[in-house]
Every structure is written in structure tokens, then in C-alpha cells.
Chain A
Amino acid sequence: MDALVAQLQMQYRNYTVSLYQQGFLDDQFTELKKLQDDASPDFVAEVLSLFFEDCVKLIGNMARALDQTGTVDFSQVGASVHQLKGSSSSVGAKRVKGLCVTFKEYCEANNYEGCVRCLQQVDIEYKALQTKLQDMFNLEKQIIQAGGKVPQVDIN
């Protein structure tokens, strides 16, 4: 039992560290974890849930705004990008945030192709993050089910 817990904990640690190393997450995610405690045990999951809802909604807005026959309202696209940038920054979704920065520049430059490319990329990126985080949460569950505690992962 203990050997299994130890193994799962090590897996969890390595996985979490890799997410930071690969740039999926930044230290704002660490801050989120600090805010989770017995009073608010599902805080991180709840916040991430709001983030992914935002992704769906805002990417939908961007897609509609870019799908105009005739002139595209780039400021409308930009407004959604701005909001997504804010949300990704608030949860520590580093890659998504980085893409939003680029995306914003294309909006300001009224660059249609650039915007369309960014839209595709941001869609792929948030989904990739969602999968990664799901795997991370699954590992947490397994540790708890095996009778262990989820370790604090020190990124530095």
C-alpha cells in the first residue's frame, strides 16, 4: 500500500514539474494551490472550471467575429482576446496567455490570417492544457484512493 502511494506520489511530482517546465503552467498556478485549503478544498478545480468555460465562450466569440463575410470587426475580436488573456493570466495558463499576447497584436494590426491562425492555436492549446490538468487531477485522486496524501510540489 505504502509502496503504491510512494510511487504515485513520485509520478505526481514528476508530472506536475514537467507541466511547469514545458511552459503549460507558471507560478500563478502555484498561487492558486496556496489558496486551496480545508475551508475551500476544491478551489483549484472550481477556478479551472471557470477558466475552461471562459475559453469555450470567448473562442466562440472570436470565431464568430472572424467569420464575417465582409469586414471583420477586429476590435470585437480583440475584446474577447483581452478577456481570455486576463483569465489565462489569473490561472497561470502560461502558453494560452502567450498566444493571447500574439493574437492581440494581430488584432491591432487588423491581420486576418494572423488572427485565424492564433484562433486555431489557442483552441488547440487550451484543450491540451485541459487534458494535462485532467491527468494531474486523476493522479491526485489515485493517491487519495490509495490512502496517501497529495504532496506539495516545490517547483523551484
Chain B
Amino acid sequence: MGMAAVESQFHVLAVDDSSLDRKLIERLLQKSSCQVTTVDSGYKALEFLGIESNDPNALSTSPQEVEVNLIITDYCMPGMTGYDLLKKVKESPAFKNIPVVIMSSENVPARISRCLEEGAEEFFLKPVRMDDLNKLKPHMMKTKLNNQKLEEIEKPLNVAAAAAAVEPEITDSAEVGSKILTLQSELEPKQVHLQVAQQEEQPLGNNKRKSMEEGLSTDRSRPRFECITTGV
């Protein structure tokens, strides 16, 4: 991993227990010029990231040096749901800043709210389409920008300083470190202006995501496929 001197592709980890849907999301992401890794369960996703999952069947490997820029996961999966995965990721100090997108075949307002409240970036109704993925372009641009900025700064620096740029801790290169942090925060508001070319307002997309026509369902504890709604 190390320094982002080489501009790498935006890497998405896609999680879905359906092989058909995995194939679909993989193709959609490839068409959007992303690097894609697909796994068939939340447990495997955590394994891939290197987060302890407490799954007895998980391979006990040491955490891989993977850089994942976004996680997109199905909601309804056996064992660990997409929501469970979202929580685990957001609870993890190392990975909580990775944007997580939830996909679901069911339009359940309570489910959507719960996911967004837990920190999900977006909620897509299945079947997911290119239009939906276009909403993720800002995230891709932001990561690309971060990589480019880091590249520019690293050129005149030695290795130690560059390492400080990647790690949030500021050591000797305090000045450099704070410079990086300033740039990082500068990037946040700038992100909005970048989208002119690509980000067309998609009112239909928003409605699709946040349809609240149906009544709210109450939360219940979770047997295997509770995520399949009955009454709602």
C-alpha cells in the first residue's frame, strides 16, 4: 500500500450472497472503471478487510494490505446482514471512513432510515443500474483527488515525511503533517464543484432511494431471514 504515488483504480468491495447479483454489480462497477472484488458474505467481507469477525469458519489469516475505497453490500443475506456488516465497518477504527452503500430488493422506509442513520452513504433499490452508480462518482473523484494531492506533496519529500503523510499521526514532520491535514479538509468543500460535468440532478434516483410511500415497520430481533418483509 504505502504512498499513493501511483494512481490506482478505485477499488470496490461488493458483497452479495446471490451469484447472479454479484456478477451484475461487478459488471456495473467495471463499466464505471472500478477495480472490483466480490465476496458472498459479510463474514468474507470482514475477512478480506482484515477485521475480526468471530466467525468460526473464517480462515485465520493476518489482515491483508488491501485498500478498499468503497463497500457495496446487499442488505438481505443469511447470517450477517448488510446492516450488520455496515455496523462492523463503522465500528472499526481502521475502516470506518470507507463509504458503505446498501442495496436491497425491498423498499422499506424504516430499513432505509436505519441504514442511513448507521452511516450508510447511499441506499440503492435493486436492480441496481448505471444511474445509481453515477451517484458514487463524487466518492471516486474525491479519492482520485486525494491520491493526486498526496502525489504532488510527496515528490520533494523523503520517505519519513511521506510516511507521515499517510499516517494521521504527526511525528517530526509536524509541518508536513499539518499541511496534509489542511489539504484534506480543503478537499471536502471543493468536492461539490467537481461534479458539474458528471453529476446531473437525478430527482428520479432520489425518489427511488428514499421512497417513503409505505408505512413504517417496527424493528424486531432477527431470525435468519427476517429481512424479508411480511406485513409491510
- Residues of A whose CB lies within 8 Å of any CB of B are 28, 31-32, 34-35, 37, 39-40, 43, 46-47, 50-51, 54, 75, 78-79, 82-83, 85-87, 89-91, 108
Q: Across the interface, do B27 and A43 meet the contact criterion of CB distance under 8 Å?
A: yes
- Please, which residue of chain B has its CB at the minimum distance from the CB of A34? B130
Contacting pair A108 B230 (CB below 8 A) = yes
Is the CB–CB distance between A31 and B129 below 8 Å? Answer: yes
Q: For the complex, what is the distance from the CA of A73 to the CA of B105, rounded to whole Å?
A: 23
CA distance A86 to B224 in the complex (A): 17
Check B230 against A35 for contact (C-beta < 8 Å). Answer: no
B-side contacts of A83, CB under 8 Å: 18
With known contacts A31-B129, A78-B228, A90–B20 Cβ distance under 8 A:
yes
Contact status of A47 and B23, CB under 8 A, knowing A28-B127, A85-B105: yes
Q: How far is the CB of A135 from chain B (nearest CB, A)?
A: 22
Closest residue of chain B to A83, judged by CB?
A: B18
Give the CA-CA distance A75 to B18 in the complex, in Å: 19
B27 touches A50 (CB 8 A): no
* Minimal beta-carbon separation of A80 from chain B (angstroms): 10
Interface flag for B28 (CB, 8 Å): yes
Q: Across the interface, name the chain B residue whose C-beta is closest to A43.
A: B27
Which of B19, B27, B105, B129 neighbours the largest number of chain A CB atoms within 10 Å of its CB?
B27
Residues of B within 8 A of A (CB-CB), count: 20
Given contacts A82-B225, A82-B228, contact A89 B31 (CB under 8 A): no
CB-defined contacts of B20 to chain A, threshold 8 Å: 47, 50-51, 54, 87, 90-91
Q: How far is the CB of B204 from chain A (nearest CB, A)?
A: 13
Residues of A contacting B: mostly = helix
Distance between Cα atoms of A140 and B20 in the complex (Å): 23
A35-B27, A86-B105 known; A75+B225 contact, CB < 8 A: yes
A89 to B18 CA separation, bound complex (whole angstroms) = 12
Q: How far is the CA of A51 from the CA of B23 in the complex (A)?
A: 11
Partner of A86, one of B18, B30, B129, B130: B18
Give the residue name and chain of the B residue nearest to A78 (CB): B228
- Bound form: Cα–Cα A47–B22 in Å: 10
Chain B residue with the shortest CB-CB distance to A108: B230
Interface positions of B from 23 to 80, Cβ below 8 Å from A: 23-24, 27-28, 30-31, 76
Measured between beta carbons, the chain B residues less than 8 angstroms from A79 are 224-225, 228
